[in-house]
Amino acid sequence: MRQAAVLVALEGVAALIAALVYVISGFGAAEEDGLNKYGTALWFALMGAGVLAAAWALWTGRRWGRGIAVFAQLLLLPVAWYMGPGSHQWLYAVLVALVAVATLVLLFSPAAVEWLGAQGSSDASADKSGPDTR
Range of the domain at 50: 2-121
The pLDDT tens digits along the chain (134 residues) read 889 999 999 999 999 999 999 898 888 766 776 678 888 899 999 999 999 999 999 999 888 999 999 999 999 999 999 998 878 889 999 999 999 999 999 999 888 888 777 766 555 544 455 455 55
Distances (CA, A) of 129 to 66, 121, 132: 29, 15, 9
* 93 falls within a domain: yes
Structural contact between residues 50 and 68, judged by C-beta atoms closer than 8 angstroms: yes
Supply the angle between the helices 2-28 and 64-81 in degrees, to the nearest 10: 60
* 67 falls within a domain: yes
* 134 falls within a domain: no
